[in-house]
Amino acid sequence: MSRRSVNLTGARWVAVAGVAALTIIVVVLASLALQRSRGETAAQPNPVPSFTLGVTTPTPTPTPEAPSPAPPASRADERFLTTGSAVWWRGVAGQCGVTEPLIERSDDGGATWTDVTPRYLGVGQVMAMSAFTAADAEMVAAVGPDCEVQALRTYTDGQFWEPYPEVLAASRYLDAVDPGVVIVAGEPLPAPCPVPTGLRASGDVVALICDGTPHRWIDGSWQPIEVAGATALAATPPSLLIAHTDAACPGLAITEVADTTALMGCLPETDPAAPLAITRDGEAIRAWSGDSVSEVAAL
C-alpha cells in the first residue's frame, strides 16, 4: 500500500470518529434539554402577574350595622309624677290582672316615699294621676275583678281612696283594654296610632306619643309636634313639656312647646329607654327616673 492510501484511510477514520463524537454530543445535549424541559413542566407554575389600568378602586370596608333602638317601656311600666305644694305623688301603671300598680306619696320633697296603693279596693291599673290640692290627689284606675274604670280621690294622705263618678266623667285617659282609644269626657276618640303611650291632659292641653312623635289634640284633630324621640310628656297649660332625645343633651332633653318651642333643660344621666315621668313644680321641672325624683338642670 502506498503512503497516499494509508493517509486517506487514516483521514477517513478520523472523519468517522469525529462524526461519531459529534453524534454522541448531540444525543447528550438533546437528552439534557429533554430532562430540563420535563423538570420545568413538573414544577408549579409561577403566578401570573396582575396589572391595573387607570384608577385603583380600594376594597370597600363593610359598614357596621347601626344598633337596634331600644324598645319602648311597656304600658305596665308607665310612670306618673305630680306635685302639690305640700305633698308629691308618683305611680307605676301596672296592668289589670297581670302586674300590680304602685302609688306612693312624699311629704318631704321626694326624700322618702310611702306606699299608699289602695290594694283593699283591688286596684289593678292606673291610667291617670294628678294632685288637685296642695296635699290631695286623684287618679283614674281600673278596679276590682272586672277592672272597672273609676276616678278615685284621697283626702287622707292616701290612706283611703273613694270613687267620684263626676270626676271620671270629665277625665281624659287611654282605654284600659284598647290603648288605641282615648276616652275624653266619657266619649271614645280614636288615637292617631294603634298603640299610643304617655297620654297627659290638663285644661285644654291633651297630648300623647306615637312612635316617638308627640301629638296634641287641637281643634278636633291630632296634630303632630316636630320633636323626635319623645319618651314622656307633661301637660302644663298653656304649654306642653316633652322629654326627648336631642344632640344638644346627653341622655334626654326637656323642651317646652307653647306659642314657641324652647329647649328648657337636660337630664344627662337618664337612660332614654328607661321609664320616665316629668312634671312642672312651680318654676322647676322635675323628673322621676330610676329610684329618685330630681330637678331638671336648666340651660
Predicted confidence (pLDDT) per residue in 64-107, tens digit:
343 334 445 578 999 999 999 999 999 999 999 999 999 999 99
The torsion of the CA quartet 137, 142, 145, 148, rounded to 10 degrees, works out to 110
Give pLDDT, residue 34: 41
What is the pLDDT confidence band of residue 11, given thresholds at 50, 70 and 90?
very low
Task: Look at residue 222 and tell me whether its pLDDT is greater than 60.
Answer: yes
H-type helices in the chain, by residue range?
3-42, 165-169
Task: Look at residue 108 and tell me whether its pLDDT is greater than 70.
Answer: yes
Average pLDDT, the chain: 83
The rounded distance, in Å, linking the Cα atoms of 88 and 84 is 6
The residue length of the chain stands at 299
Instruction: Take residue 67 and report the three cell numbers written for it.
Output: 344598633
What is the pLDDT confidence band of residue 299, given thresholds at 50, 70 and 90?
confident
Give pLDDT, residue 298: 82
Which pTM value belongs to this model?
0.75
* 101-110 contact pairs (CB < 8 A, 24+): 101/125, 101/126, 101/141, 103/129, 103/139, 103/158, 105/137, 105/157, 105/158, 106/293, 107/135, 107/157, 110/286, 110/292, 110/293
Decide: 127 and 137 in contact? Cβ < 8 Å. Answer: no
Lowest mean pLDDT among 4-8, 119-123, 161-165, 261-265: 4-8
Give pLDDT, residue 144: 95
Instruction: Take residue 267 and report the three cell numbers written for it.
Output: 337630664
Give pLDDT, residue 73: 54
